[in-house]
């Protein structure tokens, strides 16, 4: 049975796919409009825009990688679209070339992770078959609508691009609000950002080696302490035995002396004469 919640979830999936794929076509397909805006050559503008997108994307992935470890995947995947919206806002309201490039840089920082996270999740859902395949509809609608808009209204120049960016802002804000309402936990979100980067793996291995060395050192110290305690206990036992033996020897010597003294008194005649019985 189709419920309102299921329709909302499907709408969010379609809208995110529409934004991701549509933005890519809007930026790449809008290069002829940007060429006029920048008053430069098509080749130079193309290389410059692609360079900005590439650098911003790499930087965004590194930042998101750090953010996921610090605040969790749920917070990052729910709020990353806000970063995208801010960039689109700069581009839609651009007053000069610098403002446009800042907006492009900000949007491109959020787009790679946003693109990967949503596409991976939606593919998992679409594999269920049936109506779930519609989760991928946005990935076809976005490029088609943006391409047609750029071709049909290209005579309006940057106004066409501004309107396209503006409708992405409206759609993105709706997606952000609905994502918060659904309280998703993102248990099916991709874990690529949680994996260690190459230099982190090396650091991790060094840390493991240090921990292993410290553990071995601690075990050796414990063994040394146990050995020392055992030796000390053995020494104390030997001292006690020697003390006991000395005490026994002294006692035996005392008994022998007492016995010899008693025997001497019995043999002494003077002592017998002093007694009353000897009178």
Domain positions in the chain: 4-195, 206-267
CB 106 within 8 A of CB 90: yes
Which of 99-108, 162-171, 208-217, 228-237 shows the lowest per-residue confidence on average (mean pLDDT)? 208-217
The predicted pLDDT at position 11 comes to 86
Cα–Cα nearest to 37, from 24, 51, 22, 27? 27
More confident residue, 191 or 82: 82
When pLDDT is averaged across residues 64-79 and rounded to a whole number, the result is 81
CATH number of 4-195: 1.20.1250.20
Which band of pLDDT confidence, cut at 50, 70 and 90, is reported for residue 130? confident
Q: Indicate left, alpha or beta for 183 from its phi (over 0: left) and psi (-120 to 50: alpha).
A: left
**Out of 23-37, 110-124, 224-238, least confident range:** 224-238
What pLDDT, on a 0 to 100 scale, did the predictor assign at position 272?
Answer: 46
User: What is the pLDDT averaged over residues 187-192?
Assistant: 60
Residues 4, 181: Cα–Cα separation, whole Å = 13
Share of the chain above pLDDT 70, in %: 65
Question: Which token pair is 216?
Answer: 């071995």
Q: For the chain, what percent of residues have pLDDT higher than 90?
A: 38
């Amino acid at each position: 049975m189709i419920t309102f919640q299921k329709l909302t979830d499907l709408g969010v999936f379609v809208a995110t796919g529409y934004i991701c794929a549509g933005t890519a076509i809007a930026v790449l397909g809008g290069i002829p409009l940007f060429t006029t805006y920048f008053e430069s050559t098509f080749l130079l503008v193309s290389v410059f825009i692609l360079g900005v997108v590439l650098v911003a994307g790499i930087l965004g992935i590194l930042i998101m990688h750090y953010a996921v470890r610090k605040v969790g995947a749920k917070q990052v995947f729910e709020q990353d679209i806000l970063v995208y919206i801010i960039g689109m806002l700069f581009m839609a309201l651009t007053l000069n070339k610098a403002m446009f490039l800042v907006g492009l840089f900000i949007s491109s920082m959020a787009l790679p992770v946003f693109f990967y996270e949503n596409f991976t999740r939606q593919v998992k859902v679409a594999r269920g078959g049936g109506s779930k395949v519609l989760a991928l509809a946005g990935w076809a609608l976005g490029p088609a609508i943006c391409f047609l808009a750029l071709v049909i209204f290209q005579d309006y120049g940057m106004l066409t691009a501004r309107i396209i960016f503006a409708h992405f802002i409206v759609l993105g804000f709706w997606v952000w609000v609905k994502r918060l309402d659904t309280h998703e936990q993102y248990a099916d979100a991709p874990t690529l950002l949680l994996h260690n980067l190459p230099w982190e793996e090396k650091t991790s291995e060094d840390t493991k080696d240090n921990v292993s060395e410290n553990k071995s050192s601690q075990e050796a110290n414990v063994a040394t302490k146990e050995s020392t305690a055992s030796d000390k206990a053995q020494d104390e036992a030997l001292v006690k035995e020697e003390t006991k033996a000395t005490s026994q020897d002294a006692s035996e010597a005392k008994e022998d002396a007492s016995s010899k003294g008693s025997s001497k008194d019995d043999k002494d005649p003077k002592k017998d004469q002093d007694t009353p019985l000897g009178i």
